[in-house]
Amino acid sequence: MTTTKIRFDGRILFLSCSSQAVQAQLRGRDLEVAEALPLRDDISTDEITPVVIMMTYDSRLGEFPYVGFKTEDVLPIANFAVKNGGFQVTVAGRRYGKGSSRESSPLAEKSAGIRLIIAESFERIYRQNCDNIGIYTSTDFGLIDRIRAGESIDIHEFLAGRDAVTQAVIRAGGLLPFSKAELPPRDEKVFNPIPDNRPLTLIEKIIERRRIDPDGAVVKGDGVFISADWRFSHDYFTGMCAHFMQEAFGEDVKLVRPHEIIAFQDHLILASQSFPHVRDNLLAAVGGLASAHDDFVRRYPVVAHGALQGQSGSEGICHALMTEQHALPGQVVVGTDSHSPHSGALGCLAFGAGATDIANSWATGYIRCRMPEIIRVELNGRLKSGVTAKDVVLELLRSAFIRQGNAIGAVFEYTGEAVQAMSIDERATLTNMVAELGGFTGIVQPDQKTVDFILERRGVSIELEDWLFSDEGAEYKEQFAIDCSRLTPLVAAPGDPGNGVALAELDEYIPVDIAYGGSCTAGKREDFDYYHEVLAWGVEHGLTLAEHTRLYLQFGTLAVRDYCIEKGYLDTFERLGVEMIMPGCGACANCGPGSSTRADQVTVSAINRNFPGRSGPGQVWLASPYTVAASALLGRLASFEELRELASQEVV
């Protein structure tokens, strides 16, 4: 068999916890491994390519890798530093590439000359994106000395531990070359009989039912291509997806089932109201991405959810609209965003993928995944008043099991009394934030609440198929339970969603400049029920927003806005001076009202992640809708329970 040897002649960049060590490398000094330790863990794609520089989808991204990388409160890596430094290898710690699914990050690294990334562990989407575009990855730190000694590395060393499909993709130089040679498009969907030789989880049933090569057993970790239903992109990545697809399959490519391909305008829709985009003269670049998105919609007969006419905002955020209007139990839903597991609340296999994967799915109808390990999370008991699904996720995020990376690439199957009591909106918070947990996706077994939700939101009556459940005796990687009756409101301190702490245990006084409620995670109908419950209580007790605090509330979809109008919520919000924002991703993507504009500002936010720079240069505390609204009234971090206690003592 012919072997491929790969030689790395460039320098090695250690992403160290020491800002001085990083700066020394940029000045030309090559460090020994010991000098670089400890390495930074949890480097997010927000740090590799901050959202404000994601205005292109080609080699120009090579100017920017790591410009948002922060250590010791310093941003040591400037534009062109990696490219001009002659680096070919990046080395980092655990959970490298966590957060957003943006393929811009590995593309920026590759365009700057990076050919190999070595880390203790990788996030699933990030590593798959590297495979797709031809960057090698490894967890073998022994390669460092061998590369420095001038040794050529056999490609087999980058295939070790990878499933057969991924190995084939890496050998082919990327997903699209592999797919073009091996996967002829197929208009008809694949529906296989579900194996009955062993107990299966719901996720395993969906994958077995939809995989395109049903012959032979598939074990955990095996790569498979499955027949996808809904395949969507949003305005940040539609142009990139179309570019990759046309480059591989030609300008006249015929899309497979275009009526199940959706293009959303939501991430950039409020750019004209975004402080950094206006300040940095990025609106023309945003216009370029929007034009590429519009070109795709005009060229192909796809479904489009676009901008509102005559006013700011969009029809809604992609994940919320997928759940409100499109996804159905048992379907396969994939999109260019890490929070695509949102639709798992309906009992779908829903997950995020990079631009190359989505481009491939448009042209072939297939999406790649692995047969995942499943974690069963039993949420027992009933949540106390003022405690929400967001608090449950923050509790999970601060657990040692999650912080040590044990859930990377796994499915979270949520069950138990607390889940059964939750609305679909609240279940969607659980599945949406699997992205922060490092998982592949989240899912809740569909039930009568699912049927009622689809009827209420769409006017469509469905019956659940008889296989939509996990079998008794199915295999799980881990099973654990949380007594939800013991949970109290939590927050996550700035820098990472895993920095969770119970509000009652927080002994600091944290003044709040900005309170923000919105995003796919917290712009749903029930989230607005919570905001209104707190604020209406405040009005009844003669309270107003704290003088130094601005409260922004953003609808997730137009249907949410209409719901709030129908319920009379807007009267309360207007009376308090709440700043209402039309649907869009907005401040969650640092692209709209509600983002901080100065480093000294403190935000309490109901969004899903608080990585450095995610929602402006200030410090972001994550919290539930209840806590966001209560903090806005008090002007400091506080729960609704504390607000009521203070009012009873007449000290508010």
- Interatomic CA distance for residues 125 and 318, integer angstroms: 19
First to last CA, the chain: 76
- Interatomic CA distance for residues 351 and 428, integer angstroms: 13
* Residue 630, token pair as written in the block: 């209560």
- Interatomic CA distance for residues 564 and 570, integer angstroms: 6
- Interatomic CA distance for residues 323 and 543, integer angstroms: 36
Give the C-alpha distances (Å, rounded to integers) separating 156 from 136, 137, 245, 305, 377. 11, 12, 28, 44, 37
Over residues 549-573, mean pLDDT:
98
Over residues 284-290, mean pLDDT:
89
Banded pLDDT at 651 (limits 50, 70, 90): low
Torsion of CA 381, 406, 471, 324, to 10 degrees: 70
* Percentage above 90 pLDDT, the chain: 89
The more confident residue out of 22 and 614 is 22
Banded pLDDT at 393 (limits 50, 70, 90): very high
Answer whether residue 580 shows pLDDT above 80.
yes
pLDDT value at residue 101: 77
- Quick: pLDDT tens for 162-174: 999 999 999 999 9
- Considering only CA atoms, which of 279, 531, 352 is closest in space to residue 425? 531
Contact 165, 207 (CB under 8 A): no
Answer whether residue 281 shows pLDDT above 80.
yes
- Quick: pLDDT tens for 80-119: 999 999 999 999 999 999 988 789 999 999 999 999 999 9
Answer whether residue 536 shows pLDDT above 50.
yes
Give the C-alpha distances (Å, rounded to integers) separating 615 from 315, 516, 610, 611. 22, 10, 7, 8
- Interatomic CA distance for residues 323 and 334, integer angstroms: 12
Average pLDDT over the chain, rounded to an integer: 95
- Considering only CA atoms, which of 147, 168, 133 is closest in space to residue 57? 133
Q: Report the largest interatomic distance among the alpha carbons of the chain, rounded to a whole angstrom.
A: 81
Torsion of CA 299, 304, 310, 312, to 10 degrees: -120
Residue pointed to by tokens 């250690």: 14
Give the Cβ contact number of residue 20 at 10 Å: 12
Contact 414, 476 (CB under 8 A): no
Contact 165, 212 (CB under 8 A): no
pLDDT value at residue 2: 58
What is 159-216 written as a DSSP string? TTT--HHHHHHHHHTSHHHHHHHH----SSPP-PPPP-SS---HHHHHHHHHBS--SS
- Interatomic CA distance for residues 61 and 104, integer angstroms: 7
Torsion of CA 74, 79, 85, 89, to 10 degrees: 80
Beta bridge partner(s), residue 413:
376, 443
- Considering only CA atoms, which of 80, 61, 82 is closest in space to residue 10? 82
- Interatomic CA distance for residues 287 and 289, integer angstroms: 5
Answer whether residue 57 shows pLDDT above 80.
no
Contact 165, 84 (CB under 8 A): no
Coil, helix or strand at residue 387: coil
- Interatomic CA distance for residues 453 and 458, integer angstroms: 8
What is 550-561 written as a DSSP string? EEEEE-SBHHHH
Coil, helix or strand at residue 176: helix
Beta bridge partner(s), residue 613:
616
pLDDT value at residue 1: 45
Span of 52-61, 475-484, 543-552, 598-607 with lowest mean pLDDT: 52-61
The alpha-helical segments, DSSP class H, found in 222-299 are 238-249, 275-279, 283-299
- Interatomic CA distance for residues 154 and 363, integer angstroms: 33
Residue ranges and CATH numbers for the domains of the chain are 5-161 (3.20.19), 202-369 (3.30.499.10), 373-486 (3.40.1060.10), 495-651 (3.30.499.10)
Over residues 188-197, mean pLDDT:
94
- Interatomic CA distance for residues 434 and 251, integer angstroms: 36
- Considering only CA atoms, which of 153, 46, 173, 161 is closest in space to residue 89? 153
Residue pointed to by tokens 């990788």: 122
* Residue 32, token pair as written in the block: 């020994």
- Quick: pLDDT tens for 409-435: 999 999 999 999 999 999 999 999 999
pLDDT value at residue 310: 87
Over residues 12-34, mean pLDDT:
97
- Considering only CA atoms, which of 628, 612, 630 is closest in space to residue 620? 612
* Residue 97, token pair as written in the block: 């590439």
Instruction: Give helix 424-432 / helix 389-397 axis angle, nearest 10°.
Output: 20
Contact 259, 229 (CB under 8 A): no
Contact 595, 587 (CB under 8 A): yes
- Considering only CA atoms, which of 434, 362, 408, 367 is closest in space to residue 223? 367
Contact 143, 153 (CB under 8 A): yes
Angle (CA) 573 425 525, round 5°:
25
Contact 517, 578 (CB under 8 A): no
- Quick: pLDDT tens for 223-278: 999 999 999 999 999 999 999 999 999 989 999 999 999 999 999 999 999 999 89
pTM (predicted TM-score): 0.91
Answer whether residue 59 shows pLDDT above 60.
yes
Contact 623, 643 (CB under 8 A): no
Span of 39-53, 388-402, 532-546 with lowest mean pLDDT: 39-53
Residue 355 exposure: Cα atoms within 13 Å on the Cβ side:
25
Beta bridge partner(s), residue 227:
366
Over residues 298-306, mean pLDDT:
96
- Interatomic CA distance for residues 483 and 451, integer angstroms: 27
pLDDT value at residue 165: 93
- Interatomic CA distance for residues 72 and 530, integer angstroms: 37
- Interatomic CA distance for residues 18 and 124, integer angstroms: 27
HEC assignment per residue over 388-409: CHHHHHHHHHCCHHHHCCCCCC
